């Protein structure tokens, strides 16, 4: 597939999606949203991809937020339809559409945040599983300073990652903060020199790809993102029990035990495209309307 605002590359079991508008500091558009979603469809359907890295082109920015210029193509906050009545529930936030698609990924998602990440440039990273950042990066949930509100379902994701108090401070002040504060506030996993960022992200991706079952990782991702929202541990226990029962009888479980006993690297045969447990997904996706 030919992309114009992102670059897609697969190297072994690792796919890299690069936001590719360096002349605009990789500012986000509806067109970029569509391309990222298409790339995620590719990674989910390709069993050879075991992890996905996101980064930005150039040295200055991961994504400097939404492209607010008239030539951006209608603006990232506009609806797919021209809706006259703003109470109409068909109005959907483009950043939220991307965040939900990231949330639904069956592959681990790693952000290698190489520079400025403000607005949707920050919120799009929240549904990713790991955030590695250059020590020169800066973040900002700047919506209150633009007269709007947090988007991309960040009011759901951000408090779960950093806690309510920290989320309130960053969003209510709208200030820009550095990578060190992002680390101390729990937003990111680790800081790296700019030249060491992508190697560190790839090393993490390969640690997953070379040592784990793809089906186990897909199930684990779904469980850890969804189960903590349930009301009682018994509900988690029901899902845990079904998952461990089904997977313990899989070809991957047999290989995991054999490779451990034989002291060799595993070669897991199961594939996400065909071997997920029969009760997956156990949830029903809510409709927007």
Residues 103 and 192 in one domain: yes
What pTM was computed for the model? Answer: 0.93
User: Does residue 78 carry a pLDDT above 70?
Assistant: no
| Cα–Cα dist 149/141, whole Å | 9
| Average of per-residue pLDDT across 68-82 | 58
Q: Looking at the predicted structure, is the pLDDT value of residue 207 above 90?
A: yes
Does the structure show a pLDDT above 90 at 132?
Answer: yes
Q: Which of 181, 208, 235 marks a domain boundary?
A: 208
User: pLDDT digit string (tens) for 226-262?
Assistant: 999 999 999 999 999 999 999 999 999 999 999 999 9
Which domain-ending residue is among 149, 182, 208? 208
Q: Which of 182, 208, 234 is the last residue of a domain?
A: 208
- Regarding whether 78 and 12 lie in a shared domain, the answer is yes
- 200/256 same-domain check: no
Phi then psi dihedrals of residue 85, to 5 deg? -90, 110
Interval 186-193 mean pLDDT: 98
Question: Looking at residue 178, which CATH number applies to its domain?
Answer: 3.90.226.10
Sorting pLDDT into bands at 50, 70 and 90, what band is 288? confident
Neighbours of 200 (CB within 10 A): 17
pLDDT of residue 89: 56
Q: According to the model, what pLDDT value does residue 75 have?
A: 53
Q: Please give the Cα distance from 48 to 89 (Å, whole number).
A: 39
Q: Based on the domain organization, do 270 and 144 belong to the same domain?
A: no
pLDDT band at 287 (very low <50, low <70, confident <90, very high): confident
Q: What are phi and psi of 21, to 5 degrees?
A: -135, 60
Kindly report the CATH number assigned to the domain that includes residue 257.
1.10.12.10
Which of 257, 160, 161, 275 is closest to 217 using CA atoms?
275
Mean pLDDT value of segment 105-125? 98
DSSP assignments along 240-256, one per residue = HHHHHHHHHTSHHHHHH
Q: Is residue 67 domain-resident?
A: yes
Q: Are residues 223 and 243 in the same domain?
A: yes
CA atoms of 201 and 179, how far apart (whole Å): 16
pLDDT tens column, 156-170: 999 999 999 999 999
Say whether both 151 and 255 belong to one domain.
Answer: no
**54 and 118 inside one domain:** yes
Task: Count up the domains in the chain and report the number.
Answer: 2
Residue-averaged pLDDT of the chain: 94
Asked whether residue 70 is domain-assigned, the answer is yes
Q: Which of 165, 289, 151, 285 is nearest to 225 (CA)?
A: 285
Place of tokens 């920290």: 166
| CA atoms of 277 and 247, how far apart (whole Å) | 7
- 1 — pLDDT class (breaks 50, 70, 90): confident
Q: Is residue 281 part of a domain?
A: no
Domain with 122, as residue range(s), is 6-208
- In the structure, what pLDDT confidence band is assigned to residue 186 with cuts at 50, 70 and 90? very high
- 146 and 227 inside one domain: no
**Whether residues 142 and 41 fall in one domain:** yes
**Are 66 and 112 contained in the same domain?**
yes
Of the pLDDT bands very low, low, confident and very high (cuts 50, 70, 90), residue 86 is low
């Amino acid at each position: 597939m030919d992309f114009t605002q992102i670059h897609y590359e697969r190297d072994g079991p690792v796919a890299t999606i690069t936001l590719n508008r360096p002349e605009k500091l990789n500012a986000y558009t509806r067109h970029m949203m569509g391309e990222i979603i298409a790339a995620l469809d590719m990674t989910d359907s390709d069993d050879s991809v075991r992890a996905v890295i996101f980064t930005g082109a150039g040295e200055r920015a991961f994504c400097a937020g939404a492209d607010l210029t008239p030539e951006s193509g209608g603006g990232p906050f506009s609806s797919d339809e021209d809706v006259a009545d703003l109470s109409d529930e068909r109005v959907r936030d483009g950043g939220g559409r991307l965040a939900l698609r990231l949330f639904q990924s069956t592959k681990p998602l790693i952000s290698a945040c190489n520079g400025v990440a403000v607005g949707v440039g920050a919120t799009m990273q929240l549904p990713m599983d790991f955030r590695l950042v250059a020590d020169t990066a800066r973040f900002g949930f700047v919506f209150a300073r633009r007269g709007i509100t947090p988007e991309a379902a960040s009011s759901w994701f951000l408090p779960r990652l950093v806690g309510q108090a920290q989320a309130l401070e960053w969003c209510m002040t709208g200030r820009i903060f550095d990578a060190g504060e992002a680390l101390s506030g729990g937003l990111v996993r680790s800081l790296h020199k700019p030249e060491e960022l992508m190697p560190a992200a790839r090393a993490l991706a390969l640690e997953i790809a070379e040592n784990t079952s793809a089906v186990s990782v897909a199930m684990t991702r779904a469980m850890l993102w969804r189960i903590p929202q349930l009301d009682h541990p018994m509900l988690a226990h029901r899902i845990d029990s079904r998952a461990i029962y089904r997977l313990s009888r899989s070809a991957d479980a047999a290989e995991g035990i054999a490779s451990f006993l034989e002291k060799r690297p595993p070669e897991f045969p199961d594939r996400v495209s065909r071997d997920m447990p029969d009760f997956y997904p156990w949830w029903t996706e809510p409709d927007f309307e």
